[in-house]
Amino acid sequence: MPHRRLWLVSLLFVAWLVWAETSFQFYDHALGRDLQLSASRVSLIAGSFLVPYGLLQIPVGRLLDQGRVDRWIWIAALMASGFSLTFAFSTDLVGLMLSRMGTGVACAVAFPASALLARRALPAHRFALAMGLTDSLLGWGAVFAALIPLVFPWTVWRQLVVFQALFLAVMVVVPVIALGRGVPSPELPQNLGGLASPAPPIQWDRAGVGKVIKACLMYAWGGGFVFGLAQYGLISGLRVWGVERTQWMSLTMSFGIGVGMVLAGWIGSVASRRGLVLLTGTGMSVLALIALLQLPNAMGGLLLLAALGLGLGLGSSVLAFPIAEDAAPAGQTGLIVAIVNTTGTVTGGVMSVVSGLILEASGPGDLNPVLVVYGLLGLFGVAVAAWIQSSGVPAQSAA
């Protein structure tokens, strides 16, 4: 029960980091206009969150496996809130980048901590579904980020960031501190045992390492698409979509990601089904990307359907987490989730910068660079999914 309550609160932290990261695309033009920044410099600000966030996942995941998760969560959430406030009041490129990097550093705790709590709170066979629910916040948080400018179009970007900072402090920091004081730490018995005798060495085998590598490549495909396309920031800019259409397309794809991840986690609770789900998802994403780039702007309904299909297809990438968890030694959930998430977020950060360069170098209607870059990334995802399917059911870790 203590783990379950903390897990539920930790989901708010995960949803917040997605909201904070994704909402940037809805005020990036206003920010660039206010501070007279070029598209490439704005893309540097966007990528400055994801790169440190991704690079710190692995050391943070290792520390989470060995320490008190509740303390890590509230300290990190408090730091993220403080850096967000700094971002809201920054007036130059350096200040914006450094404060956004600080937010990314603090948010590195959220996802692996939530995954670790899910692993401890729920039965083992529910881990895939739990990861589907947790990672689906990538979609639901983006949906919320898209709704804000639609419902409150007069919102100023600085005011939004201030509100985000205060929301995190009230809804995550305070509850986690209260829960941490009210229940004993679930790690204490393990830590006391560790003082009495040294922990046995972690045993990895070659097959397990290979499956973790495949899982990382699969999530790199998903992260590269989701963050690189910036929920149509690239496509909408080159196709000269209006603000309203861009928002609705982003809303539709984000909804598809949320639903797709939950469905993939549910179906993928049976390990033998995961390869087929990944093949279906990667294939669907390639077809949807082609439709988004080739369909005329007048065919709004089909474009929305393609956006939904792309989101559903990308949702299958969440199965990278249970695949890697099954292949890893016992007791390494935080580290494994962090390793997989690192590949996705760092790839996403790099692709967001690449997209900014494409957008700046290409004229309106010039979609060939997008088709080449993201078409190849889509085919890469299909190849990795086929590789996973051909390798059979992931081997279970020997505890």
**What value does the CA radius of gyration of the chain take, rounded to a whole number of Å?**
20
Pairwise CA distance, residues 136 & 271, whole Å = 19
70-100: pLDDT as tens digits: 899 999 999 999 999 999 999 999 999 999 9
Q: In the prediction, which pLDDT does 193 show?
A: 43
Task: Say whether pLDDT at 140 is over 50.
Answer: yes
- Tell me the C-alpha to C-alpha distance, in Å, between residue 230 and each of 168, 227, 246, 272, 359: 23, 5, 11, 32, 12
pLDDT band for 394, please (50, 70, 90 cuts). Answer: very low
pLDDT band for 1, please (50, 70, 90 cuts). Answer: low
Q: In the prediction, which pLDDT does 312 show?
A: 96
Q: In the prediction, which pLDDT does 184 show?
A: 53
DSSP 142-175: HHHHHHHHHH-TT--HHHHHHHHHHHHIIIIIHH
Pairwise CA distance, residues 152 & 65, whole Å = 41
Mean per-residue pLDDT of the chain = 86
Q: In the prediction, which pLDDT does 322 show?
A: 94
266-289: pLDDT as tens digits: 999 999 999 999 999 999 999 999
Percent of the chain topping pLDDT 70: 92
213-262: pLDDT as tens digits: 999 999 999 999 988 887 677 898 888 888 788 878 888 998 999 999 99
**pTM of the complete model:** 0.80
- If one compares 40 and 336, the residue with the highest pLDDT of the two is 336
Stretch among 133-142, 292-301, 322-331 having the lowest mean pLDDT: 133-142
- If one compares 124 and 288, the residue with the highest pLDDT of the two is 288
pLDDT band for 318, please (50, 70, 90 cuts). Answer: very high
Q: In the prediction, which pLDDT does 201 show?
A: 59
